[in-house]
């Protein structure tokens, strides 16, 4: 009886081992869609995707070619756990290769005519895959244009569901930003959005947004058009975006990348490397952010532009000699571009003005206030700001760019000392700003109101300096011609 029981157990174990026998797959196998594409194909057949992938045997090379007929696309997932000495890779229809160690049903969206999976199994491991084919839905493309000397265009996940065609005057420059969701990595879903080098989804398919993001570089169309198209509609909540520009505006950059600061509540450090040539990085932000600090050697210059890179849009130049006195700095506006001429620099950014310490100044501080659409003709130029000195009294000075004063627009700049106004100017077309103004106080306030006028917005540069009461002991309000490091040319 006892012996019999032991054999029973042994039999059970053997059958278990047999069922879990590592599978063999050597050679090349072709997988075609089933007649009824409502049914996905699972490999190895019989694998239940809710369980661990089955084991494959060591010492074999397996390849699968999965056909995707024209008019269809494939939604592909793998579960794999490969030993370091083995190689598992997937090659899509454009020839882009993804090497995989471990994955658990990460999504891939694949186009015709085929893709392949290669497994060089030097050691045993686990592997299973699921392929679902879908018919391509008819698309109703939307069109956008980008022009030289223009504000960039940002489009978001969801905007490509019906395909989007972008037309440039020269070529289209595309930057891909990651998902803004930080709870889980949704970036693999960027594989859903395909990039075509031409005016429709019939143009040359060059890859997907995930590849553009992973390459860490921009994509530039060969002609005037670029088409983006998401194979499966409705992934808006992935929260990724693209920045599109006419290549004319960005052609001088050796490297060019988008800035993505996902964790708004902490400081975001952005590195620029211009050792191989001019390096640029653009930040899209619907309102404003602060540069808290810049670290750079004394060999280079970092220029900052609003909207696009031309002299008229330059907000400031930073070198190692002013990068400490001229930060923190608030950058008001949707698109801010940082351009570094050589070597390397790190720009530390934050959304919260308190964390940047923007509103309190130490003596020798320099900076500027600008309208949200500065240097563009717009009626949305209003802003209001104030900065208070750490010292009881400072010599506070400012200069106003007079171009902002047109139509009904008004600009009020006041310097206060212990909450009492010591200098106040209301600039308008009947009271144009002159040169630099200074007064001894502790606070500077600015308020710009377009009052319905379309203007290029205002730019007020300011400075806080130590007040030497030995030189003068009464409050001076004067217009001086002395020029301190002005941010204008």
Interacting residue ranges for ligand NAG, rule: CB under 6 A: 36, 38-39, 59-61, 83-85, 120, 123, 140, 161-162, 200-202, 233, 377, 395, 397, 412, 424, 426, 438, 456, 465, 468, 471-472, 480, 482, 484
**Least CB distance from residue 58 to ligand NAG, whole Å?**
8
What's the CA angle centered on 376, arms 375 and 379, to 5 degrees? 115
CB closer to ligand NAG out of 132 and 267: 132
**Least CB distance from residue 387 to ligand NAG, whole Å?**
16
CB closer to ligand NAG out of 278 and 406: 406
CB closer to ligand NAG out of 162 and 295: 162
CB closer to ligand NAG out of 161 and 197: 161
Q: Is 71 exposed, middle or buried (0-12, 13-18, 19+ CB in 10 A)?
A: exposed
- Determine the Cα–Cα distance for residues 93 and 116; give it in Å rounded to an integer: 8
- Determine the Cα–Cα distance for residues 135 and 72; give it in Å rounded to an integer: 4
Backbone phi and psi for residue 444, each to the nearest 5 degrees, phi listed first: -120, 135
**Least CB distance from residue 252 to ligand NAG, whole Å?**
21
CB closer to ligand NAG out of 120 and 285: 120
CB closer to ligand NAG out of 140 and 263: 140
- Determine the Cα–Cα distance for residues 267 and 261; give it in Å rounded to an integer: 9
CB closer to ligand NAG out of 184 and 430: 430
CB closer to ligand NAG out of 29 and 472: 472
Asked if 43 contacts 128 with a C-beta cutoff of 8 angstroms, the reply is yes
User: Residue 109's Cα: distance from chain center in Å?
Assistant: 22
**Least CB distance from residue 439 to ligand NAG, whole Å?**
8
**Least CB distance from residue 116 to ligand NAG, whole Å?**
14
**Least CB distance from residue 349 to ligand NAG, whole Å?**
27
- Determine the Cα–Cα distance for residues 88 and 202; give it in Å rounded to an integer: 31
**Contacts for 381 with CB less than 8 Å, ≥ 6 apart:** 371, 372, 373, 374, 404, 409, 448, 450, 455, 456, 457, 458
**Least CB distance from residue 141 to ligand NAG, whole Å?**
7
Asked if 241 contacts 142 with a C-beta cutoff of 8 angstroms, the reply is no
**Least CB distance from residue 264 to ligand NAG, whole Å?**
29
Q: Which two tokens stand for residue 440?
A: 């001894």
Q: Which two tokens stand for residue 473?
A: 């002991």
CB closer to ligand NAG out of 203 and 255: 203
Asked if 179 contacts 166 with a C-beta cutoff of 8 angstroms, the reply is no
**Least CB distance from residue 480 to ligand NAG, whole Å?**
4
**Least CB distance from residue 7 to ligand NAG, whole Å?**
32
CB closer to ligand NAG out of 106 and 161: 161
- Determine the Cα–Cα distance for residues 153 and 166; give it in Å rounded to an integer: 10
């Amino acid at each position: 009886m006892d012996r019999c029981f032991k054999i029973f157990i042994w039999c059970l174990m053997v059958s278990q081992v047999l069922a879990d026998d590592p599978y063999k797959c050597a050679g090349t196998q072709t997988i075609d869609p089933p007649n009824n594409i409502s049914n996905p194909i699972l490999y190895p057949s019989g694998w239940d995707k809710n369980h661990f992938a089955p084991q494959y045997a060591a010492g074999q090379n397996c390849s699968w070619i999965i056909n995707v007929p024209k008019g269809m696309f494939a939604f592909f997932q793998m579960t794999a756990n490969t030993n370091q000495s083995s190689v598992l890779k997937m090659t899509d229809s454009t020839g882009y290769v993804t090497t995989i160690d471990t994955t658990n049903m990460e999504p891939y969206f694949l186009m015709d005519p085929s893709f392949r999976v290669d497994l060089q199994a030097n050691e045993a491991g686990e592997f299973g895959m699921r392929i679902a084919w879908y018919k391509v839905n008819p698309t109703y493309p939307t069109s956008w244009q980008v022009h030289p000397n223009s504000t960039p265009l940002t489009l978001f996940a969801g905007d490509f569901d019906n395909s989007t065609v972008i037309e440039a005057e020269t070529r289209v420059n595309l930057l891909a930003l990651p998902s803004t969701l930080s709870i889980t990595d949704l970036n693999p879903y960027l594989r859903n959005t395909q990039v075509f080098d031409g005016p429709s989804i019939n143009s040359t398919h060059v890859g997907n947004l995930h590849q553009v993001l992973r390459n860490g570089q921009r994509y530039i169309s060969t002609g005037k058009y670029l088409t983006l198209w998401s194979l499966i509609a409705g992934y808006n909540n992935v929260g990724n975006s693209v920045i599109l520009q006419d290549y004319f505006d960005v052609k001088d950059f050796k490297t060019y990348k988008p800035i993505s600061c996902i964790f708004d509540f902490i400081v975001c450090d952005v590195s620029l490397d211009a050792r191989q040539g001019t390096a640029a990085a653009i930040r899209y932000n619907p309102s404003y952010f602060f540069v808290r600090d810049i670290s750079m050697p004394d060999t280079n210059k970092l220029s900052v532009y609003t909207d696009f890179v031309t002299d008229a849009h330059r907000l400031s130049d930073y070198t190692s000699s002013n990068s400490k006195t001229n930060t923190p700095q608030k950058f008001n506006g949707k698109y801010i571009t940082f351009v570094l001429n050589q070597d390397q620099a790190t720009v530390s950014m934050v959304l919260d003005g308190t964390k940047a310490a923007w509103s309190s100044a130490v003596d020798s501080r320099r900076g500027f206030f600008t309208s949200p659409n500065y240097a563009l003709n717009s009626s949305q130029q209003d802003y209001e700001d104030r900065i208070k000195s750490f010292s009881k009294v400072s010599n506070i000075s400012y200069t106003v760019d007079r171009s902002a004063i047109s139509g009904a627009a008004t600009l009020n700049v006041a310097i206060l000392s212990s909450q009492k106004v010591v200098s106040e100017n209301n600039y308008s077309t009947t009271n144009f700003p002159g040169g630099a103004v200074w007064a001894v106080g502790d606070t500077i306030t600015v308020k710009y109101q377009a009052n319905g006028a379309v203007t290029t917005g205002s730019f007020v540069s300011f400075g806080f300096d130590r007040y030497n009461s030995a030189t003068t002991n009464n409050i001076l309000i004067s217009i001086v011609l002395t020029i301190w490091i002005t941010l204008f040319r």
